[in-house]
Chains A and B, each alone.
Chain A
Amino acid sequence: MPGKLKAKIVAGRHLPVMDRASDLTDAFVEVKFGNTTFKTDVCPKSLNPQWNSEWFKFEVDDEDLQDEPLQITVLDHDTYSANDAIGKVYIDIDPLLCSEAASVISGWFPIYDTIHGIRGEINVLVKVELFNDLNRFRQSSCGVKFFCTTSIPRCYRVAMVHGFVEELVVNEDPEYQWIDRIRTPRASNEARQRLISLMSGELQRKIGLKVLEMGGNAVVGYLQCFDLEGESGLVVRAIGTACTLDKLSSGSAPNTTTHVHPNTAPASNACNSPSKDGKEPVFGEDVLSFSGPPTPFRALPTSSSSPPPFSPSKPCSRQSSSSDTDLSLTPKTGMGSGGSAGKEAGPLKTLLRQQTQTALEQREFPFFTLTSFPLGFLVHVGGVVSARSVKLLDRIHNPDEPETRDAWWEEIRQEIKSHAKALGCHAVVGYSESTSICEEVCILSASGTASILNPRYMREGCLDIGNTDHRFEEPSPPSCGFCHIPYDELNMPFPAQLTYCHHCRRQKVPDVLFTTIDMPSEAAVSGKGCLIQARLCRLKKKAQGEVNATVISNLLPFMEYELHTQLMNKLKLRNMNALFGLQIQISVGENMLLGLASATGVYLTALPAPGGIQIAGKTPIDLSNEHHILTIQKRINDTIAKNRELYQINPPELTEEVVGSPIPEPRQRSRLFRSHSESSDELSELDLSHGKKDAFVLEIDDTDAVEDIHSLLTDAPPPSGFYSCNTEIMPGIYNWTSAVQMFTSVRVFRLSNVNLTNQGLNKIFTDLCENLLKSFYFKLRSMIPCCLCHLNFTVAVPEDELIQVAVTAVAMTFDKDQTQERTADKPVTKGCSETEEQLQFPLELFADSSSTNTQTSSKISGVPESTGVSPRASSLDRCSPLPEGRSRSLRSNRSFGGGSVTVVKMTPLSFLPGTRIIKYLGIINMFFIRETTSLREEGGVSGFLHSFIAEVFAMVRAHVAALGGNAVVSYSMKECMLMENPHKNQAQCLINVSGDAVICVLETDQEPMSSTTSIGQTCTSGAT
């Protein structure tokens, strides 16, 4: 009996009227854990009952503690008939099982009903007493910390990264059980919610066990997903990165090596790395990068080997040239373990390779779900690797067992691994997996960034990072090292154009770099970044079973290719040369496939300047056509020039030119020459002879191509004052202010026209995405200057003729004046301070974590009426769209009698600008179902979904506040599945959200931020 769970029901408020006669409610509460149920007394005739119950005690196994949620049901007592349920609260008690997380759950929880939504609130107190039987802990996995954050959590230091953990559990979906025919929708929804909660708990426990086996104590970058397969079952699966984390204390300031911040001085970077070899960069004729198949159609595998399961097409493999059709379960010859090492150029590389190889070789999958890393962890980046496969769900032999799905994912992961090897990389970072299901067809996708990692984080007993620093001395500065190619130049996996690194001039770099990770904070960039999206629709015939799967398999490579081309064109159009945070989502519907690729483009100064885009016509040029081409060419050149200005891209070449390069070597002169010719681009007089060399050639040979070019030019840049990106932070913006506004927006478009073409569909889809962005800019206009960060688009085809796009992002304000003083004062920029903080921030706050917790929680729940912390208050006032005098007088006039609601900030990022996370309270992972049979009365689907999303936010905030937290970081909405039937006046929606509950304090403060000071800002006003 290793644990005692105690719960106390304090009070309720705002309960709904359950007795029409008296306009009151006789409420009581059932508290259930496992199979034990307790009840409170009935509190008669009150909408604000005070139960003040005794402590209900459950004595349970810690295994159950991990799996089961505490279930609280509020009911209306009825003497004569059955008691009516008002609603339920599920409380995940996992955070209480870890000594470093929360110690008590206490607060107001919304009472939720799947049919009626939130119906009042209930105040609950929950505690857990664990008996200190450490051996028992090993049977369960209490104490393993989970983080959604895909970087090393602030206030921890990574002692060791163990690697990939994954798990998958399957169950029958209650919605498809026979009993569902006779039970109420409410019962069915609750069964589903409960089941998923149980499965999540089980999954987490199992992953925890794996982590303990590996010797770790935490999972970072924990990504859990649901697959509602329908008849064949309900799958909950998760991946993550097992680590050993040490809590930072003031004693250990591990890494004090200062590093030049690249963003501060591009010029100095150039000086730092004098070019020692005079080799002329090689410009290949073909401009295709490593991540783009040069002649993809030939190389791409398209044959679908039946019989099912269909896994033939891994067409999306970025290293397409070598990816053959059959299952590449066995590594290719020549790419085998250690084999590639011998071919490497430098001995240092070889050494590094061997060291890491051994560390990584032991792992089945050297995958990491992290997207940003401690300084020095990431050595080289190869490029994006991805794999997809199409499966038929009705062919699963034992639907109730996980084996088949395990095998599917295993297959995909093997493929990813072999792709990475082909790129000369031993690891995959920024790794993620996803599915898209339509009827019985399921597309499994995985992608990541092939890379080479520094082994020092992966070896046993290397807790002290500082010591090992010099043993693997980087051959290149951190600001460009990751760009250097990891593969062998003479034996390249695909044709690519290599040049010498524009920073250090010592190593080769590709001309374009695509990655799924966040931009390393030490990378040297020029100007700002921007969101780049490629969007694509492909119609397909309705089909069944194998035929359908084959059709989809055959379409996938074409979609991948087109998305890639679009990305490349848009990147060049913006005058940039690298993509970070690349996510390619392919969604399947009955009669179409949707593809959406999102990434953040930047100009990496280590990579060569992107050439322009050159338009070429058909060979026999007739005159009118030529004129047309010239017009388009001019427009493109104008756009490029405009973008260069818009994103403030001034590559260091120009700086060199201005400053006067100290050693004008011949090679540099030649580059100067190049930059001259580039500036002539700006004047839209394209030097064709030069352009041939490194411009990207687009051929207009049919109307499709013309359409493509037009669509290329239709993407509107964000209005002035706005920036957008899908990564954690925006390259080029450093002085964030503290105002944040997280939002979720969903749009569903009904295709009314039956005879749609691919082009028409593309236009609709593109407009849908573009209009969403425009809406955001409009709604958030009062936050200018502002950046939309972590824009995460998810697309779905919920039904025939419906396209759904859901976006979650955060708007953050920044100081317009990027003053020199500021950067000088604080050379550590936001992006950089991540690393710095996590590595060396002395946490003087924590002498004793438990005592701090009680202290902080009491601070938070208090009513901070008069907490006008002056620096905050000023920012609040500045943001307040009200005339100042008025707002102040209103505030001072009034006491918001017991406005005891803690303000909880939410953000998809791993940090909140201007604050410091002092404690992680545990993972938030919630799944809700909402159903209605009175859709019209709730304001149609929009009204229905609007209130549901608001309710989900409210429930997340309440749980965080009850844990004693004041923010959720790394928040994401993983699923938003809407089904509607307007004719029957019905709709149902499933939402899954997750994130990390934290306590954060103002960077300048020692106290948790007070709630009055923490919102503000975000409300727009027409008055502004």
Chain B
Amino acid sequence: MTSHNRNLVLKGGWDKVVNEMAMELDVFVGNTTIMDEEVYQLWLDGYTVNDAVKVRMEGGVLEECEASADVLLSDTMDQYRTFQMCERLLHSPAKLANQLLFQIPPHRQAVLIERYYTFDDAFVREVLGKKLSKGTKKDLDDISAKTAVTLKSCRRQFDNFKRVFKVVEELKGPLVENIRQHFLLSDKLARDYAAIVFFANNRFETGKRKLQYITFQDFAFCAGQLINNWTVGAVDNMVEDMDVDLDKEFLQELKELKVLITDKDLLDQHKSLVCTALRGKTKAFNEMEANFKNLSRGLVNIAAKLTNTKDVRDFFIDLVEKFIEPCRSDRWTAADMRLYLTHYTNSAHILDTFKHQVVWDRYMGVVKSCIFKMYHD
């Protein structure tokens, strides 16, 4: 559907050119496929041929090479055609390496793929955690208007998400590695895609106003933490969807942590251990002491509720509401946060009657690093 529409866009431009120049046909084909990275980026960004020509002209490429506007137009058309012909291959990048139609040096293939799958942070932030369905696709117009990313580019990015999602859905083995191998992406980009897939699969809420300040990279980091520690794959690495679904057993076990807030003694003991450790080390000590029970209840309750899918979706919003916001209103610094959470986690080990050390560490390890990442303006 999308590519069809793109064809129409290009053809419109083409007809216009024909009228202008009376050039019925104009092609240039190199034995090694010639691709200009600047034009490629313009194409990816969804510029029409004519707009791309304008941008290039403003870039001063003409003066540099004593060329005329006609030359630039002809070149841009050629390149757009080439990219369009390559697009089919970019959908399954492994094919690019062993197809015969275009002779492209390997390092250049890598660039083509990497760029094709690169997305705008503004765009991804809008669809992160949403179901990658037709319904969402219909909203792309609004997203395009909101993010100033062209609709064409939005469609490409959305289709990329969807394509990666579909492919890895059916694969066994580690998510990041699967993405990297199937789409030949760099480690960094593969991790980002893993985050997108993970968020889409678990439908984490990211769109609420309170979460707006969190960047995609923050979320991607959190996703990495969750994937590495809370999924099935963290314990068993040969199951389907191992990195996409959270470990159900673990989520069940999290209920046990409730004892930390339901058992009065345990709660007090925990508080005094933490306070002893913190005293004199931070200016926010008074607020910490005052808020300890509230904050602890917040974190433990989040853990205990994670068996419900609905509450999983609200994981990040809960973290913000139950923990980050109270701390922020008490003007904790990032260092305070670090200090507090470290002692909060470690002190639980010293509690004699608390038996769920392993689950606690698995939980707090992730929560701690997520909060560290999310605790900024």
A residues whose Cβ falls under 8 Å from a Cβ of B: 13-14, 108, 110, 118, 121, 719, 741-752, 771, 774-781, 802, 804, 876, 880-882, 887, 890-891, 893-894, 896-901, 903-906, 936-937, 939-943, 945-947, 949-951, 953-954, 957-958, 978, 980, 1012, 1015-1023
Contact = CB atoms under 8 A, between A and B. Distances in A.
Contact of A746 (B25, B67, B84, B101): B25
Contacts of B59: 1022
Q: Which of B7, B70, B111, B187 neighbours the largest number of chain A CB atoms within 10 Å of its CB? A: B111
B200 to A, nearest CB: 24
Nearest to B62: A778
Contacts of A940: 11, 14-15, 18, 25
A747 B39 CA distance: 21
A861 to B, nearest CB: 12
Interface of B: 7, 10-11, 14-15, 18, 22-39, 56, 59, 61, 64-68, 70-72, 74-75, 77-78, 81-82, 84-85, 94-95, 97-111, 114, 181, 184, 186-187
29 contacts: A108-B100, A110-B101, A719-B66, A742-B30, A743-B31, A745-B27, A748-B23, A748-B24, A748-B26, A751-B22, A777-B65, A779-B28, A779-B75, A779-B78, A891-B106, A896-B106, A896-B110, A898-B98, A899-B106, A901-B97, A901-B98, A903-B103, A903-B105, A937-B7, A942-B26, A1016-B105, A1019-B33, A1021-B36, A1022-B56
Contacts of B36: 1019-1022
Nearest to A1018: B32
B70 to A, nearest CB: 6
A923 to B, nearest CB: 18
Given A771-B71, A899-B106, 14 more contacts: A719-B65, A747-B23, A774-B68, A779-B75, A882-B107, A890-B110, A894-B186, A900-B98, A939-B84, A940-B11, A1015-B32, A1016-B107, A1018-B30, A1019-B35
A957 B30 CA distance: 13
A748 B18 CA distance: 11
Contacts of A743: 28-31, 34
A933 B376 CA distance: 60
Contact of B27 (A899, A942, A954): A942
Contacts of B82: 946
Contacts of A943: 81
A743 B66 CA distance: 21
B63 to A, nearest CB: 11
B111 A887 contact: yes
B90 to A, nearest CB: 14
A428 B65 CA distance: 42
A14 B95 contact: yes
Given A891-B107, A943-B81, A802 B34 contact: no
Contacts of B65: 719, 777-778, 781
A897 B25 CA distance: 38
A1021 B37 CA distance: 5
A1012 B109 CA distance: 12
Nearest to A887: B107
Contact of A897 (B29, B107, B108, B181): B181
A1022 B106 CA distance: 19
A775 B95 CA distance: 31
B81 A939 contact: yes
A777 B67 contact: yes
A942 B31 contact: no
A751 B22 CA distance: 7
A602 B67 CA distance: 26
A117 to B, nearest CB: 9
Contact of B100 (A750, A778, A882, A958): A958
Q: Looking at chain B's contact residues, is the secondary structure mostly helix, strand, loop, or mixed?
A: helix
A937 to B, nearest CB: 7
A118 B101 contact: yes
A904 B32 CA distance: 9
B79 to A, nearest CB: 9
A937 B11 CA distance: 9
Nearest to A971: B31
B373 to A, nearest CB: 25
B60 to A, nearest CB: 11
A1022 B11 contact: no
Contacts of B28: 743-745, 775-776, 779
Contact of A957 (B27, B66, B100): B100
A1017 B103 CA distance: 12
B71 A14 contact: no
A654 to B, nearest CB: 30
Given A14-B95, A778-B67, A953-B29, A1019 B105 contact: yes
A788 to B, nearest CB: 12
Contact of A882 (B33, B39, B78, B111): B111
Contacts of B24: 748-750, 802, 941, 980
B97 A899 contact: yes
B106 A752 contact: no
A633 to B, nearest CB: 27
A358 to B, nearest CB: 46
A756 B35 CA distance: 38
A741 B101 contact: no
A31 B167 CA distance: 36
A76 B106 CA distance: 33
Contacts of A951: 101
A777 B97 CA distance: 29
B128 to A, nearest CB: 25
A904 B103 contact: yes
A957 B27 CA distance: 20
A946 B81 contact: yes
Q: Which of B7, B22, B104, B114 neighbours the largest number of chain A CB atoms within 10 Å of its CB? A: B22
Nearest to B77: A942
Contact of A741 (B31, B39, B107): B31
Contacts of B106: 891, 896, 899, 1012
A891 B110 contact: yes
A946 B27 contact: yes
B34 A1018 contact: yes
Contacts of B39: 1022
Contact of B81 (A777, A896, A942): A942
Contacts of B10: 939
Contacts of A945: 25, 27
Nearest to A951: B101
Nearest to A804: B25
Q: Which 10 residue pairs are nearest across A and B when measured between Cβ atoms?
A: A1022-B38, A899-B97, A748-B25, A1018-B32, A748-B24, A742-B31, A949-B29, A745-B28, A743-B30, A1015-B105
A304 B167 CA distance: 73
A953 B28 CA distance: 12
Given A898-B98, A899-B97, A900-B98, A1019 B27 contact: no
Nearest to B32: A1018
Q: Which of B64, B95, B100, B103 neighbours the largest number of chain A CB atoms within 10 Å of its CB? A: B100
A898 B99 CA distance: 11
B109 to A, nearest CB: 7
Contacts of A747: 23, 25-27
B293 to A, nearest CB: 49
B357 to A, nearest CB: 38
A894 B93 CA distance: 12
A958 B106 CA distance: 18
Given A747-B23, A897-B181, A741 B30 contact: yes
Contacts of A748: 23-26
Contacts of A13: 98
A950 B22 contact: no
B56 to A, nearest CB: 8
A940 B15 CA distance: 9
A16 to B, nearest CB: 11
A121 B108 CA distance: 23
Q: Which of A780, A891, A937, A943 neighbours the largest number of chain B CB atoms within 10 Å of its CB? A: A943
Q: Which of B36, B77, B82, B95 neighbours the largest number of chain A CB atoms within 10 Å of its CB? A: B36
A906 B25 contact: no
Q: Which of A897, A942, A1015 neighbours the largest number of chain B CB atoms within 10 Å of its CB? A: A942
